[in-house]
Chain A
Amino acid sequence: MEKIRILNLSKRYGKVLAVDSATFSVEDKEFFSLLGPSGCGKSTVLRCVAGLEEPTEGEIYIGQTRVNSTVDGINVPTELRPIGMVFQNYAVWPHMTVYENIAYPLKIKKLPKELIQAKLKVALHTVGLERLADRYPNQLSGGEQQRVALARALIKEPEVLLLDEPLSNLDAKLREQMRFELKDLQRRTGIPILYVTHDQAEALAMSDRLAVMNAGRIIQVGAPTEIYTHPADRFVADFIGLMNFLPGRVLGRSGEEATVEFLGGHRLNVADRSGLSGGCVVAVRPEDITLSLTGPIRCRVEVRNYSGNLVDYKVRADDAVLRVQTPKTEIFAEGKELGITIHRAMLFQLGEGRGSG
């Protein structure tokens, strides 16, 4: 069942089209991410769902309720929408204790005191803040404030949870940890999450599905593996993970396979349904390349970065510089003459969707 449905959503600020007819839906119990470079319109979509911005065009459903429709003039105010939201800076009220912060949505609902207390006990336990209930936000760490914001968003048992880059203000270690906690929390509560981030690693790691946005448009929607292995265009390929882009030519095709020539005459058969012919861009992931003494394409190691779990090389082959990532089983010295083997590649049209990410 769809918990959030967005149909042809557009948002215009003066002359700028921040969101350009976005359409997607979030299923029940799904962790759905909106991913894109800053300024791509992902936060605007989220704020439209929250009712904090009014769409210029389109419809939004939360559960069975139509909360926005520009055609029928519907714009349900934020305070009446069944949503919980965590803001990038947490927005924990500095003049209220942890307890008061989390209890606020229930106080607004005018629930009886005993019920609020009972619910708070559970909520504080869920986020592990029992002992900090009487503290003020300025006595809390960033991670603890984050949990307060999360508990406050969940306390009124919303139909959906909206998260606006909630991890971007945390330090790297805590961020990793919170990724698992958020995932775990969602599994326990089963609440559908709409998550906004510019961090592709975060989106890949946490999402059930994600939508990649650029310049106000949704480019591709799919599961992380699908988006990683079959990016819809060059922008997605570039934005998600690392990618080498090399100029090439399609020589011919048979069935779903194309033969391309690149790197000074090297030929490779590539699974491809694009139907491209002639000049094209050959995209190769760094991990789809292996280095060996005997590889067919000659190259020279220019820079080597050892990063613990893998080794990162920049190698020069023909006139191109390629990024290659290999397991740390064999480490080659800088300046060494080697050969590379390319196992897998994707083809894109020339000059299309040059990404900024």
Chain B
Amino acid sequence: MTTSNFDRRYLLMMAVGLFILLVVIYPLWQVFFRSFLDAGAFSLKSYRKVFAYPAYYRALLNSVWVSCVTAALCMVSGTLLAFLVVRTDLPGKKSLRTLLVLPYALPSFFAAIAWIQLLGPQGYLARLFFQLSGWETAPWNIYSAGGIVFVLTVHYFILVFITVAGALERMDASLEEAARASGANTYRIMREITLPLVLPAILAGGLLAFIGALANFGIPALLGMRARFFVLTTSIYYALAIPDFGLATALSSMLVVVALVSMTFQFALQKGEGRYTVISGKSVRPSELRLRSMRYPLFSCTAVFVFCISIVPIFSMVLTALLKYWGAPLAQASLTLEHFAYILKLDTGRRAIVNSLFLAAVAATLTTFVGILISYMHVKARLKGSRILDFLATIPYAVPHTVIAIAMILAWAKPPVSLYGTLWIILVAYLAVYLPFAVRTTNSTLQQIHNSLEEAARVSGAKIFPRLRDIILPLAWPGMIAGWILVFMPALRELTVSILLYAYHTETIGVVVFNLQDAGYREVAAALASIVMGLLIVGNTVIRRLTGGAAGF
């Protein structure tokens, strides 16, 4: 027997460490580093520029206020809906819930496109409004800050809904029963017992919505740029078009700082949740509030709302794709399939589909593979230093995707390794963007595999590679497939990263839809978007089946 046995698991750890270094750490370091650089010397010039021009610091302020208002609206609507769906005897709760989650399964810039189709000039709902009211112009403008907040809220309120609904479901019913036994009426119980108990969940969901709104590119790009209303993400896009890298990195650094601050709050909230241990994993069903005479009126309101935000946009997208031309009368004669045929015949369209499928498949495979290795070292082997690896792999989660794209340009678009203009630079960016998601699923997958199963293999004499091959991987397989789809689906429709990194021949589906819409080819954009929506809805169904509803939307 050998005396000093080099642990071969550390070889794996070094390989994974190198991967994270190249894909995450080095590029992000470049953003930070470059923002302080001017002509090779340390300088605050870029930051000064941001504060010198109103156009740029206004973008920062715009980002913050738009995200704040969005978060507030999300908290109100998400909490209300969660109460209605979880704690009352509203009819049809289950289907309402499924429909509510639907919009989030679709990319946010699809939502923006759909709402332009609905509320924009000549929009379906706008036309309906004109007919009903007899007005000539609409009292709203979708191309505005208000429009951005509206679409962001419709897209992100579900984050509040999910956290609050979860907290309400986990809440011990006896807490409310004790209040009732003390003589409190329903209204007082809700206000004095239930609401304070789920308050951390509401805030946590609100912060998630804030971070989502802050990092969003598609919605402010499609609705704001035309009105010359810029937020941080769209300013970065603009700075890159100039191109002014110093400015782009300075704006990026600020975006990261705001995101990090809210992330810190989010973590603090999660930690503080320990105080509310009463919200435990018990399966006691909380009592349902009887709505009595309000039951059907409330149901109608909720149903109309849910219908408007989930079904109507999808319907609008498909309808636009089928219309002969935008603005055509809604008669049967105006329907056609030629836009679908056109996009599938168009070189750019075909290339984009192939590119996106390739990028999504490779990104999903690589991140799941690296994810399972990181999780193995962190969750199972508990190797020294594996915690750091897990932490480093999670960093991109806190970084808005726009910034990740900038980071890739700075790190990998200059000699000796110039990937600019190739699919590879988009791939590297996807790897960074989706690694945290992959690691999160593989972590929970491996946590479900009891340690003793691997220990039994060690006692049986199996070394690291046989153990991974015979025990860990076969047991983790279903979770890994679910994780793979969870990366594949969002990667397939990705916009924010690819719009900053694409070149001629490396367009993705997101880029083509965005450019078509931006250039006014709404019907063709809608056709391509409809195809992707179909794929996403099928994929979502598959993943829910696979995981028994635990993953997916």
- The chain A residues found within 8 Å of chain B, CB to CB, are 50-52, 65, 67, 72-81, 83-85, 87-89, 91-95, 104-105, 108-109, 149, 152-153, 156, 162
Contacts and interface: CB of A to CB of B under 8 A. Distances in A.
Interface residues of B, number: 23
B459 A83 contact: yes
19 contacts: A50-B455, A50-B459, A51-B458, A72-B3, A73-B3, A76-B2, A77-B7, A77-B458, A79-B460, A85-B455, A85-B456, A88-B452, A89-B450, A93-B457, A93-B475, A94-B475, A104-B460, A108-B466, A156-B460
A166 to B, nearest CB: 12
Given A91-B452, A93-B453, A95-B475, A79 B3 contact: no
B1 interface: yes
Contacts of B534: none
Contacts of B461: 79-80, 105, 108-109, 156
Nearest to A47: B455
Nearest to A155: B460
B462 interface: yes
Interface of B: 1-5, 7, 450, 452-453, 455-463, 466, 470-471, 474-475
A95 B460 contact: no
A85 B466 contact: no
A77 B460 contact: no
Contacts of A149: 456
Nearest to B474: A95
A152 B1 contact: no
Contact of A78 (B2, B453, B455, B466): B455
Nearest to B449: A94
Contacts of B471: 93
A33 to B, nearest CB: 19
Contacts of A77: 5, 7, 458, 463
Contacts of A109: 461
B462 A79 contact: yes
B457 A104 contact: yes
A75 B461 CA distance: 15
B460 A52 contact: no
Nearest to B464: A79
Contacts of B7: 77
A50 B460 CA distance: 11
B459 A78 contact: yes
Nearest to B458: A78
A84 B470 CA distance: 19
A152 B460 contact: yes
Nearest to A65: B1
Given A89-B450, A91-B450, A84 B5 contact: no
A18 to B, nearest CB: 16
B462 A108 contact: yes
Contacts of B459: 50, 78-79, 81, 83-85, 153, 162
User: Closest 5 A-B residue pairs measured CB to CB?
Assistant: A91-B452, A105-B460, A91-B456, A78-B458, A87-B452
Contacts of A156: 460-461
A51 B458 CA distance: 9
A50 B457 CA distance: 12
Contacts of A75: 5
B462 to A, nearest CB: 5
Nearest to B3: A74
Contacts of A79: 458-463
A46 to B, nearest CB: 11
A52 B380 CA distance: 12
Contacts of B458: 51-52, 77-79
Contacts of B5: 75-77, 80
Residue among A85, A93, A149, A156 with the highest chain B CB neighbour number at 10 A: A93
A85 B470 CA distance: 19
